[in-house]
Amino acid sequence: MLTAENLCKAYRRHAVRVPVLNGLDLEVKTGEFLSIVGASGSGKSTLLHLLGTLDAPDSGRILLDGRRIDNLPSRDRDALRNRVFGYIFQFYHLLPELTTLDNVLMPAYIGHSVVGWWKSRSKWRARAVELLTKVGLGHRMHHRPGQLSGGEMQRAAVARALLTSPRVLLADEPTGNLDAATGDEIVRLLRDLNREDGVTIVMVTHNLDIVTATDRVVRMVGGVVTADTGAKKPAPFHAPLLAAV
């Protein structure tokens, strides 16, 4: 479904070229819950940004259902981020001025003009309320992010990412800022979404405890994939790889 071919990406830091991805290949299958593990600086987050068209590769291609998406005009890439991809970040990244409900509704606000929004507002509101209830925040809809706990904020971020029913959820260390119990809760939530709603999830993490919940684990070192557990397999299959990671 989502394919990365020979991706290269380097950053410039004070005229020094720092390569991050060095010819990475990866294929994400529909309905898969994939986790990407690796040390800091291995290029996990960069890969996630490239997959979600938030950044463009220096070379290589990204394909969605066989169609190249990394070189699309910015308008089309904006539309992809709005409807096809859903992002979840380590630091939740909610807008502090808005209520939880408005934060969750933000992708719909972005995707509609004032008139368009006015016409479909009740549908979107119902969807946002449903999602917030699903993630257990039905009672916190009118609170600002500052009034929520870390776990609650991350659940709100998950609800926001799901609003437009995206095909792929890109989670960048979603538990990185949470305690173990809350982190587990979030991963359980993602796993349920994957199993029940069939959402494809690509999760970057360096927390090895949580990858057991995922279908497939990919390990990255130095900007390339060095190990891949492959297709969906039961937990024991992961054991040797995880030991290696």
Partner 1 sequence: MYKLLLCVRYLQTRYLAFICIVSVMLGVATLIVVNAVMSGFSTKLKDRLHGVLSDVIVDTDRSDGFEINDTLGKALTPDEVVARIMASPAGPKIAAVTPTIEVFAILQFNFRGQAMTKPVRLIGIDPEGRAAVGGFAEYLVRQHGHARPSFELTPEALKQHELNRQRRERADALQVPNVPDPKPLVPDPAALPEPDDAVMKRDMPVTKLNGAVIGYTIAHFRWRNEQGEVVEEAALKPGDDVTLFTAGGSQIDGGRIRPVFGNFLVTDYLKTEMSEYDQSFVYVPLDVLQRLRTMEGRCTAFQIKLKNYEADKKDVVDALRGIFDPRTGARVATWEEHQGSLLAAIDVERGILNLLLFMIVGVAGFSILAIFTMIVSEKYRDIGILKSLGASNHGVMSIFVCYGLLLGTVGCGLGTALGLTITDNINEIEMFLTRVTGKAVFPRAVYYFKDIPTNVDMVNVAVVNIGAVAVATLFSLLPAWRAARLHPVRALRFE
Region near partner 1 per CB under 8 A, out of 21-29, 90-98, 127-135, 179-187: 90-98
Q: Which is nearer to partner 1, 206 or 232 (CB)?
A: 206
The nearest distance, CB 59 to partner 1, in angstroms, is 18
The nearest distance, CB 122 to partner 1, in angstroms, is 14
Site string for partner 1, 61-80 (x = CB under 8 A): -------------xx--xxx
Q: Would you say 192 and 34 are in contact if contact means Cβ atoms under 8 Å apart?
A: no
The nearest distance, CB 61 to partner 1, in angstroms, is 19
The nearest distance, CB 56 to partner 1, in angstroms, is 10
Candidate list 102, 184, 228, 232; residue touching partner 1; CB under 8 A: 102
Question: Is residue 1 near partner 1 by the rule CB under 8 A?
Answer: no
Cross-strand partners of 12: 17
- Residue-wise over 184-201: b if at least 16 C-beta within 10 A, else e? bbbbebbbebbeeeebbb
Question: Is residue 97 near partner 1 by the rule CB under 8 A?
Answer: yes
Strands (E), 79-223: 85-88, 168-172, 200-205, 216-221
Q: Cα–Cα distance between 237 and 224 in angstroms, integer?
A: 22
DSSP class of 29: -
Question: Is residue 55 near partner 1 by the rule CB under 8 A?
Answer: yes
Candidate list 23, 60, 111, 150; residue touching partner 1; CB under 8 A: 111
- Residue-wise over 24-48: b if at least 16 C-beta within 10 A, else e? bebebeebbbbbbbbeeebbbbbbb
Q: Would you say 58 and 69 are in contact if contact means Cβ atoms under 8 Å apart?
A: no
The nearest distance, CB 28 to partner 1, in angstroms, is 18
Q: Which two tokens stand for residue 174?
A: 């979603």
* E strand or H helix that includes residue 61: strand 59-64
Question: Is residue 114 near partner 1 by the rule CB under 8 A?
Answer: yes
Binding stretches for partner 1 (CB under 8 A): 46, 49, 52, 54-55, 74-75, 78-83, 87, 89, 93-98, 102, 106-107, 109-114, 116-117, 160
